[in-house]
Amino acid sequence: MQTELSNRLGIEHAVFGFTPFPAVAAAISRAGGLGVLGAVRYTAPDELRRDLDWLHEHADGRPYGLDVVMPAKKVEGVTEAEVEAMIPEGHRQFVADTLAKYGVPELAAGEASGWRITGWMEQVARHQLDVAFDYPVRLLANALGSPPADVVARAHEHDVLVAALAGSARHARKHAEGGIDIVVAQGYEAGGHTGEIASMVLTPEAVEAVAPLPVLAAGGIGSGQQIAAALALGAQGVWLGSVWLTTTEADLHSPAVTRKLLAAGSGDTVRSRALTGKPARQLRTEWTDAWDDPAGPGTLPMPLQGLLVADAVSRIQKYEVEPLLGTPVGQIVGRMNTERSVQAVFDELTRDFEKAIDRINRIAGR
């Protein structure tokens, strides 16, 4: 599964694997892809440095990347405490009432939330970059559009390629105008933040919109046949995220979440603003249903929603309150029905890719 882009980056397979887990990122790189570590959960630079040290040591000299979140719009000079003060009391009461309804225990006295989204704030992402550029990172991806021009320039000074996720051809063109190197065309089927257009439609539109820039296809992809289809549509590789959640290297800290992922079908996800304030595909739960209920107060814009629910999500996760327990994941969850290693996933991807290419060749009479 080699393309011009994979050859440029020195990877065996044109598979770019996004993950919040250093062990998964390292395993992806060792298997011949490009492991891309998600940085949004790192609120302290030292935490990111610790995990990049580990990733660098365990990638066995293979290339890897980093994914940050730098919103297109920002508010200057506002602290996290000042942002939290903007949250209406009615929304706080709705969270409290929902947790009480399901008997979710409080965190222990003095125990801080383990789930914060300050990584959505640009100043936090910039501190992450100060750490990242001390490492031989080959790719910098931004999950919320094109990074600021000075960040793109800084990455290029370090010989780092810059990728940006796009949910439409219009977004893709805007990224190209911003000087990025790779467009990740992320379809509606993807886990996490996603737009309205399916990957089968979006991929060729993005390829045409930004040619000759390389495009990675993303959204609901988790098989070799789909990779072959993506390359046939003009992509130079694929961006996979959800499929790694049920690998043995992933550290979800929740057997209940793993069970729910293994049992879920492709129709068991929903695009909801419940987690961050922007539409994000995740497992449908009674928590997402509560926020999407017209009788409720409705969600707040980013970053208010994420700050509002941070403690609640930590409590739901810690005590594994199954009716409310979920995670961002794409529609490919319907194929994620066994726990296996990252290498086993790659073995199946490459095997099924070869079968798909052979089938097309037979149809073409080759």
How long, in residues, is the chain? 366
pTM of the model: 0.92
Q: In whole angstroms, give the CA distance from residue 175 to residue 164.
A: 7
CA-CA-CA-CA torsion sign (106, 112, 115, 121) = positive
Residues 6+ apart with CB under 8 A from 315: 99, 104, 105, 106, 107, 321
Q: In whole angstroms, give the CA distance from residue 277 to residue 280.
A: 8
What 3-state class would DSSP assign to 276?
Answer: coil
* Average confidence (pLDDT) over 86-94: 95
pLDDT at 74: 57
* Average confidence (pLDDT) over 102-131: 76
pLDDT at 362: 94
| Lookup result for tokens 């990740």 | 184
Q: In whole angstroms, give the CA distance from residue 276 to residue 309.
A: 8
For residue 281, give the nearest of 328, 240, 324, 242 by alpha carbon: 328
* Average confidence (pLDDT) over 73-84: 67
* Average confidence (pLDDT) over 269-279: 94
pLDDT at 187: 97
Average per-residue pLDDT for the chain: 92
Q: In whole angstroms, give the CA distance from residue 35 to residue 27.
A: 7
Amino acid at 286: E
Helix axes 122-132, 45-58, angle to 10 degrees: 40
What 3-state class would DSSP assign to 239?
Answer: strand
Task: State the pairing for strand pair 34-38/269-272.
Answer: unpaired
| Lookup result for tokens 């800290």 | 253
Q: In whole angstroms, give the CA distance from residue 83 to residue 89.
A: 14
* Average confidence (pLDDT) over 142-164: 92
Which pLDDT band, with edges at 50, 70 and 90, does 119 fall under? very low
Per-residue model confidence as pLDDT tens digits over 277-322: 989 999 999 999 999 999 999 999 988 898 899 899 999 999 999 9
By the 8 A CB rule, do 302 and 274 touch? no
Task: Report whether pLDDT(118) > 60.
Answer: no
Per-residue model confidence as pLDDT tens digits over 311-346: 999 999 999 999 999 999 999 999 999 999 999 999
